[in-house]
Structure 1
Amino acid sequence: MELSNRVKQLRPSSTLAITAKANELKASGRPVIGLAAGEPDFNTPSNIIEAAFKAVNEGKTKYTPAGGLPELKKAIQHKLAKDHLNYELNEIMVASGAKHALYNLFQSILNEGDEVIIPIPFWVSYPEQVVLAGGKPVYVFTDESTEYKVTAEMLEQVVTPRTKALILNSPSNPSGVIYEREELESIADFAVKNDIIVVSDEIYETLIYDGSHVSIASLNDDIKRLTVVINGVSKSHSMTGWRIGYAAGDAALIKAMTDLASHSTSNPTTPSQWATVEAYNGDETFIDEMNSIFKERLETIYPKLMEIPGIQCIKPRGAFYLYPNISETVKLCGLESADEFVEQLLEETLVAAVPGSSFGSPDNIRLSYATDLASMLEAIDRMKQFVEKRMENNS
């Protein structure tokens, strides 16, 4: 059966692929430590689970409006207002996860050949979704020298009359960096001057250990008009499998995205929506508790990682990833690439990482510390032994 050209050009998600391979090895009884998954290793808080059960028991299992329950949109509206972002209900849509919100967004704004600026490193689905919508990804390379962040000057180098949007992800997956207010103000000026839509992916906004989150949409009315905020409860409330995200932005665009959803998913899962009402309106002490655990892991593991020969790594300030540059480590091991390093690491030490090539930077790897501290320390120890053994054999 002949497949469409659009799906033929898709590249599968490497994070999901590596996680699946690690799980397969683990299922066979091997002591695999997976550092690839992008989800918190905590169960969803009990008050949220109970809200879902209550909704089901009360018969709240039917269709909802395609753009989400009014009660949930009001809860999101209230949450955004606390972040100095004021949106009307018709400027908010609920989606089946933040990924689905992004998909609907690109399908709604892009025509064939429209360009979308994507900073490197990027989350793996950004370019794939842009291409699926007929758009053209335009990459801006960043590395340790720029702290993995773009500047307005860098963006000016790639903007063209076909530029339709810029993707901004803060805190970042995979690097964990966050943009400061002054940096965002400069980027906002660039976007307003060039009339470019800013896709502000803020899914990790609560996971910050040094500093605070600022949404670019909160800076002024001009940039708010051009910004689409993407967020959800997957990371903040450990609800990855519940599949609830949202978009907030221009009412006409939100209507188009909602109309598109009505012909694809109909509506986000109803019990999950009621659970999310509780997530935003109920007790949120879980967020601070989870953050403190992630921060403790980061403070413990980062110095251990830096003991591995050749490793270079900017200390992340948010999310739950380490994103070391291992180009020197690869050379010391006598290997050809970070991809080969990841492959050999899994085969020989049963530690699963994600190659940076998946995120546009082939010299890096991504390590998730969304796993227990003992396992992380064991994984870093295995990595160090792997490198030192390779170095000894390579000398």
Structure 2
Amino acid sequence: MRSYVSKQVKQLKPSGIRRFFDLAASMDGVISLGVGEPDFVTPWSVCEASISSLERGHTSYTANAGLMELRKEIVFYLQSHFHVRYDAQSEVIVTVGASQALDIAMRAVLDSEDEVIIAEPSFVSYAPLVSLAGGRPVAVETSIEHEFKLQADQLENAISPKTKALLLCSPNNPTGSILNRKELEEIARVVKKYDLLVIADEIYAELSYDEPHCSIASLEEMRERTILVSGFSKGFAMTGWRLGYICAPEELTQAMLKIHQYAMMCAPTMAQYGAIEALQNGQEDVEHMRKSYRRRRNYIVESLNQIGLDCHMPGGAFYVFPSIARTGMTSEEFAERLLMEERVAVVPGSVFGKGGEGHIRCSYASSMEALQGAIVRMQRFMERNCRK
């Protein structure tokens, strides 16, 4: 049967995150710092709004682009929080998670061999999505010296005649790093100089702890060359609802809508009604979760540094990306041994690209009790394996 599988799909590697998650799930007593999913349940008012929509018989398709009421709420939310405005009628699509939004963005803009620059370490789906759309991912390795932030000169040096887009994630998965306004302006200068498109993954925008999130689309002359991707999974604790959105200038949005309507028809109707409630009345819940994550971030960064895992202070998301250099192990060896010896699941940095080797990703979207238990186990592991 293998002969029926496309060559393109054969070349794709399975997700390294899922491999460790599946392994951990088969073991007893594991504390998982692996999968990036909020430990909060969806706010009840959001669930109630969705249930109410079912009770009122809203079980049919919506418009391909999503409920107009939801699109208007998305427009208002982006304008009031991040100072970027879109037209609800023609520049917003409600998608099945931010993942589908990224997929249709790639397929709508990439032709064969078009290059997309990706700052690594990066989320595991980025490069495969570029490849599946017929493009070529070009990795640029960031470093701990710059807190894993893409530098403007790095971007400029990676550009070739085939470069079409930059894929940017801030706050970043897996490092938690944030590009502030000044840093984004430097990147935007290069983007405009070479007439590039930016695909901005801002799914963690609500989880910015030390300074307000800045969207690159809000910068001068950047709205017209940015595809903004976001959703409800992380900031609103709605991962299982599979609801995201994509915003861009009309010509780009209408191109993406063609793919969306053939591949997906529309996002789940009851989830869209829940999302309306989240945007209208969910800010208190978002702020509660954000403050809790911030406390956990401060705890885990301090604790990891104390036990010998050097870790910078990330500005957002819910990940830390400590160095394991003191152990002399590869990131995969470290993750496997930590899981087998101490029943703590983390993700090896190597799955996020070459720039991730020598690090591990730990998610602090777990209870403080779980984080404290994990640190105790990791300290034992480091005492046995840390080079003096």
SS of equivalent residue, structure 1 residue 93: strand
Uncovered stretches (5+) of structure 2, i.e. residues with no partner: none
SS of equivalent residue, structure 2 residue 76: helix
Q: Deviations over 1:76-122 (max 9, x none)?
A: 11111112111112111110000100000001111110000000110
SS of equivalent residue, structure 1 residue 266: coil
Confirm whether residue 16 of structure 1 aligns to residue 18 of structure 2.
yes
Confirm whether residue 261 of structure 1 aligns to residue 260 of structure 2.
yes
Q: Displacement, 1:4?
A: 0.6
TM-score (norm 2): 0.96
Q: Displacement, 1:390?
A: 2.9
**In structure 2, how many angstroms separate the alpha carbons of the residues matched to 1:378 and 1:69?**
44
Please show how residues 349-360 of structure 1 align to structure 2 within 5 Å.
349-360=342-353
How many residue pairs were aligned? 382
Q: Name the structure 2 match of 1:76.
A: 74
Please show how residues 6-45 of structure 1 align to structure 2 within 5 Å.
6-25=8-27, 30-45=28-43
Aligned-residue CA RMSD (Å): 1.2
**In structure 2, how many angstroms separate the alpha carbons of the residues matched to 1:4 and 1:372?**
42
Q: Name the structure 1 match of 2:311.
A: 313
Confirm whether residue 379 of structure 1 aligns to residue 374 of structure 2.
yes
Q: Name the structure 1 match of 2:332.
A: 339
Q: Name the structure 1 match of 2:142.
A: 142
SS of equivalent residue, structure 1 residue 101: helix
Residue type at the aligned position of 2:346: A
Residue type at the aligned position of 1:168: L
SS of equivalent residue, structure 1 residue 263: helix
Q: Deviations over 1:33-65 (max 9, x none)?
A: 000111110000000000000000111110111
Confirm whether residue 295 of structure 1 aligns to residue 302 of structure 2.
no
Q: Name the structure 1 match of 2:275.
A: 276
Q: Deviations over 1:278-316 (max 9, x none)?
A: 11112420011011111111122211111223x221111
Q: Deviations over 1:157-179 (max 9, x none)?
A: 11011001001111111111111
SS of equivalent residue, structure 2 residue 263: coil
Q: Name the structure 1 match of 2:364.
A: 369
Q: Deviations over 1:317-337 (max 9, x none)?
A: 1111110111222x2xxx4x1
Residue type at the aligned position of 1:19: F
What fraction of aligned residue pairs are identical, expressed as a percent?
Answer: 41
SS of equivalent residue, structure 1 residue 167: strand
Q: Name the structure 2 match of 1:102.
A: 102
Q: Displacement, 1:181?
A: 0.7
Q: Deviations over 1:232-287 (max 9, x none)?
A: 01001000010110111121111111110111111111100111111111242001
TM-score (norm 1): 0.95
Q: Is the 8 A contact 2:118 2:166 kept in 1?
A: yes
Q: Name the structure 2 match of 1:122.
A: 122
